[in-house]
Amino acid sequence: MVEIPSALTGFDRREFTHEAITHHYYRLGEGPAVIVIPEIPGVTPKVTEFARRVADAGFTVLVPSLFGVDGAEPNPDGLSDVARAGAGMVRSLSKVCVSREFAIFAVGKTSPVVTWLRALGRSAHSECGGPGIGAIGMCVTGGFALGMSVDDTMLAPVLSQPSLPLAITPNRRGTIDISPEDLACVRSRCRSESLQVMGARFEGDVLSPGGRFDFLRRELGDSFIGVELPDDSANPSGTMPPHSVVTEHLIDEPGQPTHDTLEQIIGFFRQKLQNT
């Protein structure tokens, strides 16, 4: 029996296989399913805290483990040292870069792992019921909820600081990791089914550039709900520049922009999945 990390106490650990690809995930709560797709470096305690908030709001939350060490702190010794924390991020990112499941640099491509996530979502909807499912991706997984939206079970996609493709050229800064065919499908759902897509980022985040949200506004129009926060609203204790809206840079106090955005995201899930 696999031991559950202390940060994930109370979660069930399960495995899901689709097309010969298997990943494990953690599950908590009851109600319509919401998939919380972790950011680099993985299923950290802050990601887990966010997942618990979603579960407490009346959802079955599923947290797939796609990379990293489950339950580990991004900066294990607790030092607010950008270089040390950055080294840990690079280690996880390097593993993602060589994985065939992630389209790190490609423009106009949906990451292959999204196929697995779609199947997980369909399975969760079948098991948990409700009108559909929600999902939130973060950082390198930020755009995955958009790619999952080709399935009509996806009713509440959230893109938190979407960071792919890596913004190393102007062309990459003004797009997101989804194929033209998948984007056309999502755009069609926005028109015909009133699908809405929510996104959140810090205004100065170079990993999730503003051009990416401009692209989504052009492609999806009013169906895209983009929340862009001032950099000085980020938690100063974060080890990296403002980036992780609902985890590492969250200031969890009413009236704080990051807290209010977290509540807006949970409200989005409630509106789409609990109001029938």
Concatenating the DSSP letter of every residue in 136-177 gives: EEEGGGTTHHHHGGGSTTEEEEEEES---S--SSHHHHT--S
CATH 3.30.300.90 for the 6-73+84-273 domain, yes or no: no
pLDDT at 119 over 60: yes
Q: By mean pLDDT, which of 15-19, 93-97, 115-119, 122-126 is the weakest?
A: 93-97
pLDDT score, position 59: 99
> CA-to-CA distance for 231 and 237, rounded, in angstroms?
13
How far is 241 from 262, CA to CA, in rounded Å? 19
Answer with the residue of higher pLDDT: 103 or 52: 52
Average pLDDT over residues 129-153: 98
Task: Among 150-154, 167-171, 221-225, name the one with the lowest average pLDDT.
Answer: 167-171
Q: pLDDT exceeding 70 applies to what percent of the chain?
A: 91
| Cβ-contact 95, 101 below 8 angstroms | no
pLDDT for residue 43: 97
Higher pLDDT, 250 or 172: 250
Confidence band (pLDDT; 50, 70, 90) for 102? confident
pLDDT of 12 > 70? The answer is yes
- Residue pair 163/139 in contact (Cβ under 8 Å)? The answer is yes
Answer whether 103's CB lies under 8 Å from 165's CB: yes
User: So what's the pLDDT on residue 91?
Assistant: 58
Q: Return mean pLDDT, the chain.
A: 93
Looking at 29-104, which runs of residues are DSSP E strands?
A: 33-37, 60-64
Tell me the pTM: 0.93
pLDDT score at 24: 98
Report the pLDDT value the prediction gives residue 100, as an integer from 0 to 100. 75
Mean pLDDT for 59-88 is 75
